[in-house]
Each structure stands twice: as structure tokens, then as C-alpha cells.
Amino acid sequence: MQLTQYLDSVESSSISYDGLYPGHIQTTPVQKALLAVGSGVAALQNPYRHDMVAVLGETTGHLALTALRDRMRDDPEGYAVLTERPRIRLSTLDLTKMAALPDGSFGREYLRFLEENNVTPDSRADVRFVDDEELAYVMQRYREVHDLLHTLLGMPTNMLGEVAVKWFEAAQTGLPMCALGAALGPLRLNASRLQTLLTSLGPWALRSGRQARCVLSVFYERRWEQNTEELREELRIPPPPASLARRSS
């Protein structure tokens, strides 16, 4: 049975939405293991299968999500995020106001990133297989701040930029899904970009991820007017060397 068929069978079986949070699907440890293996294989075959990457993250990330949740609880701003549960969706963004912000402000640069790369925050899938309501929100928040990290790190959405962000996320979050992406992403790079990743961009991303403040503990919705460079400095994220940022584009 193909994984997509198995997912359909899980959703339509007696394992129904149980009210833990909207869309949650309760699964047994055996079912989670099957989903993790199947989604991992599918993601290896096609890294652009975002639905499979999402399932892999949800079925393998319990320990990392718990650690991230604890870091957020220990941070006043992160605790506010956990308490208020903001969502980054087109319905929650004031695009007109963000477009009027000055160049260099975080909100304006994030909107520019969305426009130039033709992406939308609404493309992030809802969490289904995390069996804890608070941890499910942590996973959802991780997904929804991914494009904000591209903005903070100055990375485009090409393969080199995505791998650099994934190296940062692996060091920052400890999520197995991120580690897998960081390990396998370089295999899809040409020789020139692989050299850039291994000699300069990758070490910068790993170092930045390790030393940065927990990026899930930032209430970004209250930071749109802040200068991007100031926010990056506050979060202890050094900018990439200019030459490397240009080569990744």
C-alpha cells in the first residue's frame, strides 16, 4: 500500500478526530512508526513532497518539540507566544500596512520576500499527528516562521538557500526532520554550490543556529516595524558574508 493510501486509511478509519485540537488524528506507536518510515522514504525520493516532510516532522519530533516548548516557556516573549497562540496567515497579516513600512524594517522585508519568491504563509500544512495540543502549536509555529527565517538569514528559496536555512534549523531546533534535510540537501547541489556550503555558508548557518536565541520565542507580529538588522543582532544571528549571500541567490 502506498503511503498516501495509508494516510487516507488512517484518516477514514476508527481513528477519528478526537477533539484534542482541530484536525488531530490519534495514532498508535506502531502507526506512527509506519508513517515515519514511509514519509521518510517519500521525502528522500522527492524533497519537494512537503506533505511527506510534514508527516515525518510530526511523527519523529516529540523530544525536540518538548525541548523547544520548554525554551519558549522560560522566555517571557516565548511564553506570551505560547499563551496567545498567534498564527501567521494571510488572514492575520495587514499587507497594506506592511507595504507602507520603510525599507529595512522586518515587516517590509518579509513582505518583499513573499512577493519576490511568490510564496504565501497559507501554504503551511496544519499539524495532525502530534498527540499534545501545546506541542502541536509549537510545530505549527515552527512551520509558520520558516519564511521569516529566510528573511532574517537573508537566504533565497533556491536549493542552496533552503539547505542553509535547514542547517540553521537543525542546529537551532534539534528536529530530526531538519537534521535529515540538512544531511541530504547537499546531495542536490552542484559542485560550486556544495563547496560554498561546506566551506563557508554551512558553518555560518550551524554556528548561527547554535548561538541564536530561540527563534520560536519571538513574537514576530509585534516586530514588523523593527529594523531587520537590529532584530538579527538582538537574536544573535550574524549576517552571512555579502559575497555568499549574493552567490546563494
Binding residues for Zn(2+): 146-147, 150, 162
Task: Output the known binding site.
Answer: 146-147, 150, 162
Q: How far apart are CA 127 and CA 124, in angstroms?
A: 9
Q: Which residues, 6+ apart, have CB-to-CB distance to 150 below 8 Å?
A: 113, 156, 157, 161, 165
Q: What is the DSSP string of 100-142?
A: TSPTTBHHHHHHHHHHHHT--GGGSPPP-S-SSHHHHHHHHHH
Residue 158 C-alpha cell reads as 533556491
In three-state secondary structure terms, 72 is helix
Rounded to a whole number of angstroms, the CA Rg of the chain reads: 18
Nearest to 116 by CA among 149, 142, 151, 146: 151
Nearest to 186 by CA among 208, 166, 156, 209: 166
- Asked if residues 248 and 201 have their Cβ atoms less than 8 Å apart, the reply is yes
Strand partners, 25: 17
Q: Residue holding cell 502541536?
A: 136
